[in-house]
Structure formats: C-alpha cells, structure tokens
Chains A and B, each alone.
Chain A
Amino acid sequence: MSVDKDTVAKIANLARIAVSDDELESTAGELNNILDWVEQLSEVSTEGVEAMTSVVAASLPRREDKVTDGGYRDQVLKNAPVSEHGFFAVPKVIE
C-alpha cells in the first residue's frame, strides 16, 4: 500500500490541514517511508488475537448524576480568539 498525491490531499482535507500542491509530493514520500516501515507488522500472525482496548485491568468508573461543573462562561470563553455576546464566533457557515 502506498499513498499518492491524491491520497495525501484527501487525508489532509480530512485532517483539516492545508497542504499546498508543491508540498503534496514530498509529504507523500515521507508518509510512504513510514508506512513501508510499519508494513512489517504484516509478518506477525494475529489470528484470534484480541485487539488491545485498555492496558489497565479495571472497569469504567461511573460518576453520580449531579451538576458539579459549568456555570463559568467567562472562563470558558476567556481564551477564545473571537467571542461575541457570550458565543464563540466562527466564519459564517452555510448549510
């Protein structure tokens, strides 16, 4: 499996990272180097092996249904690049 320029463009779009046309080729090369290297995993027989979901042997802790957080809008918005009237603001979206 190897990635071409189109694939790089596709995943860069999925990851929302602008990659210029002239960077596509070199990025594809870098990614292929890494992907070719990890390819060696195909040597390992993993038939019937469970995929790891957690390295710790514990059960998921659950919290009580109580309101214990929130109610501090100023702090939530404090680091926002743009906020207006208590909202976060982003370039207009057309649905």
Chain B
Amino acid sequence: MRNLYQGATGDWEVVIGLEIHAQVISESKLFSGASTKFGSEPNTQVSFVCSAQPGMLPVINEECVRQAVRTGLAMGCQINLRSVFDRKNYFYADLPQGYQISQFKDPIVGEGVVTVDLEDGSTKDIGVERLHLEQDAGKSMHDQHPSMTYVDLNRSGVALMEIVSKPDMRSAEEAGAYFKKIRSLVRYAGTCDGNMDQGSMRADVNVSVRRPGEPLGTRTETKNVNSIRYVMMVIESEIRRQVDVLEDGGTIDQETRLFEVATGTTRTMRSKEEAHDYRYFPDPDLLPLEFSQAFVDELAKEMPELSDAKKARFIKDLHISAYNAGVLVAEKESADYFEELLSATVEKSGKQVSELGTMVSNWVTGDLFGALKKLGKGITGSPVSIAHAAELLSLQVDGTISGRIAKEVFENMLESGKSPEVIVDEKGLKQVSDTGAIETMIDEILVANADKVEEYRGGKEKLYGFFVGQVMKQTGGKANPQVVNQLLRPKLDG
C-alpha cells in the first residue's frame, strides 16, 4: 500500500526517518559517578567530570554498555564487538565540555529490522540503521530571568541511546507505530523507562517529500519531540508545509525546526546556527570499546521475553485471538497484568490455562481497559487488584454468577473497592441453579401466560425469549441461564 498525499498539482510521497533518543536506565552517568535520578535540585547531581572542570576525564559505566547491547538485541540488530567514542564539537550553554561524547563512525549497535503493527491490521518492516551511546546535555532555562539563561547540569552526561531508523516510513501513522514499537521494546528489555513526560524518550523527526519515483527531497529535522502524538503532528504539519512551498515554486531549506505545541506546527529555530560542522574525531581520553561475543551471548541468554515472542506464545499456548494478544503485549505492564491474572484465576478456579485464556484476555482488554479509560488511569494505576479480579472471574467460571451479573459486580468493585465475593453475598447476587425452584417458577409462568404458550406452540417461536425474560425477571437475573434453558424448552414443546 502506498501513502500518497494529494497536493494541488498532483501526488506527493513523504519520506520519514526518526532519531530516537532513549535515556538508559542506570544508577550513574555514562562517564561519571554522579546520579541519574530525575527531579533533583539544580546542579546537585553534578560531579567535576560532568561539569567539565579542567583536567577531568571520562570513565565508562559498564551497565550502560550492557544496556545498549540489550537494546540492540531487542531490536534484532547486529552488535559490534568494537566501537569507538568520538567527540562531537559544538558550543552551547548546557554542553559544559564544548563537545558531546558520542559514537560517529563505529557505533556499538549496527543494522536491524523491527516489525510494526498498523491500524488496518497489516504490518510493516522498518529498518534500524544503528544505535549508539552518547552523553545527554544539561538543561537550559530561558524563562527564569529577564536577561539570563539558567543552566542546570543534572542531566549532563546521563547516558542516551540514539536509535536511528532508516528513512523507511511513509506516513505519520507508520512513524507513530514505529516510535511506539521502539518504546515498547526498550521497556520490555528494561533499558529505558520510556517516560516521555520526564524526557526519557524524545525524537528528532526528519521529513521530506517528493513526487513518487523521484529522488529524495530536501529534508527538515524537527528536534526534541517528546510524544508519539506530537511526532505524528510534526509529520502532518511538515507534509502540508513542504508541499505548499514546493507547489508554490519554492524550495525547502535543509534546516532544524522546532515544534510548537500550541499551534501544532513547526517553525525555524531563531538562533540559526551556521552549517553544522561538528568536527567529529575519536575521543583521545577513551580507548576503543571492545568486548567478546561471549559477553553478548551472556546478555542474550538473560534477556526477558519481548513483545513479539510473547504475542506468539499467547496465541499458540493460550489460544487467544491475535487482536487481543496484540493489545495485551503493546505495553509490558498490561501483558504482565494479564499473565498474573491468568495464573491467579487458574489457581482460584482450578481450570486449565487454555480454557481461561480467551475469557481472561477478553475481560482485560474489554471490561478492565474500558473502565481504566473512563477513569483516565493506566494499568499500573488500576483500582482493581489481581486477587479481586481473579476472584470475580472465578465466580463467573464456576457458575456462581452470570456474565451479566459479573459486569454489575465489577462496577461495584470499582466504586467500593470491596472483594467480589463480599459484594455477591451482600447483594444476594448468587445465581439460582436450584432446578426445583426454577421448575416451579416456570410452571407458574406457563399457567399465567397460557395464551402465549398457545401462540408459541402454534409456531410463533420468537416468543421463547419472552418466557426466558419472565424467568429472569422473577429471579432478579440470577437464574442460571443454562438451567432455565434445560427446563423451559421441554415444557414449552410439551
């Protein structure tokens, strides 16, 4: 399928590449022993090394190396046993060394491919060009003082993984799906918390347009976009802008742009830098980073199960639908919640995993997700504990309550926080399966509605539902529908 954009003068194709910056989960910084903790007082997590005091030298954090390798493995990328740290030279207030230690020619992770799920149920392979380790910069605050910018170096030197895609994406949707997929992978691998609010993940978005079949157009780079939705907005807005410029006979400047949340559009950076000339060269304070294949193999062995493998297992072993499996594995926390709930329900109900998979997955993706959405909460903020949820599902499985009652009990659980067993007891919601009682009830209903019985027997079979309804009405919905069916049909059929 091709994504083409209709301009006034014909179709345009968009070419998108993303550079995702993902903050590595580590205790201390990439080259200094200062803490990486978020949200501390300004400049309290700064050492002489990360404030670039004279004579200070970098020493690499081995966990950051492991994290980069794990992420590379998660993306199915080649791991380079030898990589080199380079200096990227430029001046900025929050770059204390006057250069960023990064990897230019020889990154720690090479090429790979990730598969993303699209809205229409199709998938697409997006190439990963590379992943390299680099230092984060500090933070500049421009709005604290009328004539000064304040600089906080707490972030300076925190390890980042820059994950560079190939220019394989052709729509905002694909780019959004790719970003989401990378976020999911690093979270599964435990290498980045994916927390966009805290800036743990952000993307530089490269967009260009061209006439189908023509060579690549000039691209713009929109820096530091910190949500998946914004990435998609940047792309939509850049497509419109670039197509408008080109159709008016203009040209696109290769430039860095900024995203303005208020307008949902991008603009040229006011501090227009001269053409970038970063003067990369190998950092003489560091030797090349080398490790053995055994080091990589050991990390591969310890890798947690990732989303694609989990999804396949859910489908194969638990017999749940591909759709449900996809929804569950999209976030590591939902997959974890589902698996814990499933095993708790198995234990509680004594049924087999394969018998319960579909039911539990339907409940999580349907009832629970629906309720959380209404509450504006994520799975980790769920007001319903695994134990309570398992209890609820078990009551349904063993026939104590019906599916309809289960929904009612769930509503109550959300409000009261009580356990489902307590709610069922208090409200007397136990399903009536006493055949004697139900039979008596049916006999009475048949007598009271003798005319309808005649009509039914005369061929108006639709009336069957009426009789079931009468039984349910009289039992307050608690009659076991199976028992009702078993008794009602023979009596009506005479």
Contact = CB atoms under 8 A, between A and B. Distances in A.
Chain A directly contacts chain B within the complex, with at least one CB pair under 8 Å? yes
Interface residues of A, number: 39
Interface in B57-97: 59-65, 84, 91, 93
A19 interface: no
Contacts of B28: 65-69
Contacts of B33: 63, 66-70
A84 interface: yes
Contacts of B146: 92
A73 B150 CA distance: 15
Contacts of B149: 89-93
Nearest to A13: B274
B141 interface: yes
A60 B286 contact: yes
Nearest to A63: B59
Contacts of B347: none
Interface in A42-95: 53-54, 56, 58-71, 73, 75-77, 79, 82, 84-95
A38 interface: no
A1 interface: no
A9 B63 CA distance: 43
Given A88-B151, A92-B147, A94-B270, A70 B47 contact: yes
A82 B43 CA distance: 14
A64 B43 contact: no
A29 B144 CA distance: 45
B27 to A, nearest CB: 5
B340 to A, nearest CB: 29
Nearest to A93: B149
Contacts of B147: 91-92
Contacts of A87: 42-43, 141, 144, 150-152
A70 B148 contact: no
Interface stretch (B1-9, B48-56, B329-337): B48-56
A63 to B, nearest CB: 5
B140 A70 contact: no
A40 B65 CA distance: 41
Contacts of A90: 93, 148-149, 151
A77 B148 contact: no
Contacts of A61: 59-60
Contacts of A89: 145, 148-151
Determine the main DSSP class of A at the interface with B. loop
Interface string B119-161: 0000000000000000000001110111111111100000000
A71 to B, nearest CB: 6
Contact of A60 (B60, B150, B274): B60
A73 B93 contact: no
Contacts of B269: 95
Interface string B20-44: 0000001110001111000001111
B150 A88 contact: yes
B288 A54 contact: yes
Contact of B93 (A16, A53, A93): A93
Nearest to B143: A92
Contacts of A18: none
A61 B142 CA distance: 38
A89 B147 CA distance: 10
A76 B287 contact: no
Interface in B155-171: none
B271 interface: yes
Interface string B258-292: 10000000000111001001010010101111100
22 contacts: A60-B288, A61-B60, A62-B61, A63-B59, A64-B63, A65-B28, A67-B28, A69-B33, A69-B48, A70-B47, A70-B50, A71-B44, A73-B41, A76-B48, A77-B43, A86-B41, A87-B151, A87-B152, A88-B151, A91-B148, A91-B149, A92-B147
Given A60-B288, A65-B26, A87-B150, 4 more contacts: A59-B290, A65-B61, A68-B33, A89-B148
Across the A-B interface, give the 4 residue pairs with the lowest CB-CB distance, nearest first: A70-B34, A65-B63, A69-B33, A68-B33
